[in-house]
Amino acid sequence: MFRFFERLVDPYQPYPVSNRPPRALLAFLRDYLRPFKTTFCFSAFFQTLVAAVQIFLIWYFGRLIVLMTEATPSEFWGNHWVELALVTGFILVIRPLIDTVSTLLLNNTILPNVGTLVRYRAHRHVLRQSVGWFENDFAGRIANRIMQTPPATGEFVYQLIDAVTFSFVYLIGAFFLLGESDPRLMIPLAMWTGLYFALVVWTVRRVSPASAAASNARSAVTGRVVDSYTNIHAVKMFSQNDQELNYGVEAIEEARVTFQKEMRLYTTMEFGLILLDGCLVVSVVGWATYLWSIGSADVGVVAAGAALTLRMSGMSHWIMWALTTLFREMGVIREGMETISAPIELVDAPGAQELQMKAAHISIAGLTHRYGKEFGGLENISLEIKPGESLGLVGASGAGKSTLIKLLLRFYDVESGAIYFDGQNISHVTQDSLRAQIGVVQQDSALLHRSVRNNILYGKPGATEEDMIEAAKKAEAHDFILQLEDPEGRTGYDAQVGERGVKLSGGQRQRVALARVILKDAPILVLDEATSALDSAVEADILETLYRVMRGKTVIAIAHRLSTIARMDRIVVLDEGRIVEEGTHASLLEANGAYAGFWKHQSGGFLAMEET
């Protein structure tokens, strides 16, 4: 039974993927929750039945009192035993079935699957965002919004069906029940309803923005805390515990203040409810009692009116909290939508084809990119890199080396000019096919918090165990991998490397990352300070491996340690985003220009940072 209801909606079903999801709340909910349309209708129908059954029972108990007062016990049982048996059967069999189906639809079909669907689609959308988009936000805040929006959406749907549908049907039934007894009893109920909804409107208008502010403040706390934890090595290295604590406390205090403002609204709401509920009970029951005293109503009317108003008095708090919860969750959803509905700006061109790589020839024509600013980046770069050629990029920090690599990987769209791989403009091919042709070893080779095996196979998921081990051996990583053991007792290639690979030394991380690229075996190889984390002895071994891996590939290497690129076929010197020199190592030294100045100013083999 549980499995049947749990499988009514598949949260992973195919759906039309959009680069620009709806930014309006209702449009967003309608788009995401479309697979649940039929389920919502059935759930609302059964919730309507649940409310109708409760109204029926209140009415019937009033009738029961009248029947009991009008006959002796023997007459009562003799005349009404069939009716009583049917009602008993209804209460013991039909009512539980209705309640059970309603509960199963809400708890087992809707709640688990709504949250899963929203989280899956939101995560899928965010993963498609560009590197630049991630660089403009806290990873912790992004993750927090991905995590808090799905349960908020589920709670919104739950309250909408469970509370709003139930209360609406119950209120209509209450008017019908009192009106049938005596139309005058509808007057105090109508007055209470008007005041109650005025209080609801007053509350929800303030709760939604207050909740959004509180949710945003909580996300800021998460962002700052995760930022501190992610960079815990720097925090400890510079003994900045107090600074990080104060940095976090600023956000924590802001979250406290916004939450206090939100809770003031709820306290005011509670006070108003207490007054309204007292007025409802006194007015309806008092009026019914007066009508009974003058002979205009029987005792059953008084009993039904008392039961109904007491029930509504208790329900009013639940309904108000449900409604405020609904609007509070709407605020959380709105805040989450800032992330999960952000449009994807870096997209494949319409009709983009797979990159067809044959020779790995790279052509850069009139390339300018300043990240939307008036300075920095690259300025009118033109460069030809022949198939199989190895090219070294040299320049002081900020010269534009990393920008060029990011543009080659199409982490950003170029602002002016174009980049061609084998004559194909990289802006006109799919991003995945482009990056599949490029292997990158970065300066900061952060690894995934998974096993060594998973990290190496990331370069080529379908590779065999033998291919993976061979790649590790080429990267001089196999021997130390066999010695690894994590706290859970997993060893060798099954050992977990920790978040960003923190359980490995810098050199070990670099070698695992290199093994991943070797396994990928892409025709274009990018080395961004690939040996910067290695000591001299290990670097020499790795360089020999790299030189072997480079054979037959088009290579672009960035290095401050000029000895690592001295054997490149050609070296290009960048300064303030422009090419100022290019040639072989020997010819550049002979020219006695910028490159020669860098070479002379090296200390321990590293490129000096000062301008020359």
Same-domain status, 431 and 448: no
Nearest to 288 by CA among 365, 189, 215: 189
Judging by beta carbons within 10 Å of its beta carbon (0-12, 13-18, 19+), is residue 114 exposed, middle or buried?
Answer: buried
Nearest to 227 by CA among 250, 251, 244: 244
- Is the model more confident about 430 or about 600? 430
Q: Residue 38 above 90 pLDDT?
A: yes
Residues, the chain: 612
CA distance 137 to 226: 12
> Residue 467's pLDDT is what?
94
CB 333 within 8 Å of CB 156:
yes
- The highest-confidence range among 52-61, 175-184, 384-393, 560-569, by mean pLDDT, is 384-393
173 falls in which pLDDT band (50, 70, 90)?
A: confident
Tokens standing for 521? 């075996």
Q: Residue 184 above 80 pLDDT?
A: no
- Is the model more confident about 536 or about 107? 107
The residue range of the domain holding 29 is 22-340
Q: Which of 287, 306, 340 is the last residue of a domain?
A: 340
Q: Residue 556 above 90 pLDDT?
A: yes
> Residue 187's pLDDT is what?
81
538 falls in which pLDDT band (50, 70, 90)?
A: low
Same-domain status, 469 and 505: yes
Same-domain status, 450 and 429: no
Same-domain status, 198 and 336: yes
Same-domain status, 378 and 490: no
237 falls in which pLDDT band (50, 70, 90)?
A: confident
Asked if the structure places residue 546 within a domain, the reply is no
Residue 179 CA from chain centroid, whole number: 50
Write the CB contacts of 320 (distance below 8 Å, at least 6 apart in sequence): 199, 200, 203, 269, 273
Same-domain status, 410 and 470: no
Asked if the structure places residue 345 within a domain, the reply is no
Total of domains in the chain: 3
CA distance 222 to 189: 46
pLDDT tens track for 251-262: 899 889 988 888
pLDDT tens track for 481-491: 999 888 888 89
> Strand, helix or coil at 594?
helix
Q: What is the CATH number of the domain that holds 463?
A: 3.40.50.300
Asked if the structure places residue 539 within a domain, the reply is no
Asked if the structure places residue 16 within a domain, the reply is no
pLDDT tens track for 424-448: 999 999 999 999 999 988 877 778 8
Same-domain status, 218 and 289: yes
Same-domain status, 108 and 228: yes
* Segment 6-11 mean pLDDT: 92
pLDDT tens track for 364-395: 999 999 887 877 789 999 999 999 999 999 98
611 falls in which pLDDT band (50, 70, 90)?
A: very low
> Residue 532's pLDDT is what?
64
Q: What is the mean pLDDT of the chain?
A: 84
Asked if the structure places residue 407 within a domain, the reply is yes
610 falls in which pLDDT band (50, 70, 90)?
A: very low
Judging by beta carbons within 10 Å of its beta carbon (0-12, 13-18, 19+), is residue 214 exposed, middle or buried?
Answer: buried
> Residue 366's pLDDT is what?
93
- Is the model more confident about 408 or about 296? 408
* Segment 160-167 mean pLDDT: 80
pLDDT tens track for 448-501: 888 999 999 999 998 999 999 999 988 888 999 999 888 888 899 999 887 766
- Is the model more confident about 59 or about 473? 473
Report the DSSP beta bridge partners of residue 582. Answer: 572
Asked if the structure places residue 213 within a domain, the reply is yes
Q: Which of 521, 539, 569 is the last residue of a domain?
A: 521
Same-domain status, 314 and 406: no
Asked if the structure places residue 349 within a domain, the reply is no
Same-domain status, 49 and 169: yes
Asked if the structure places residue 3 within a domain, the reply is no
> Residue 212's pLDDT is what?
75
Same-domain status, 91 and 229: yes
Q: Which of 305, 340, 375 is the last residue of a domain?
A: 340
Q: Residue 604 above 60 pLDDT?
A: no
> Residue 603's pLDDT is what?
45
Q: Residue 612 above 60 pLDDT?
A: no
Q: What is the CATH number of the domain that holds 239?
A: 1.20.1560.10
34 falls in which pLDDT band (50, 70, 90)?
A: very high
> Residue 608's pLDDT is what?
44
pLDDT tens track for 273-326: 788 878 877 777 787 787 778 777 777 777 777 777 777 776 776 777 777 777
Same-domain status, 226 and 284: yes
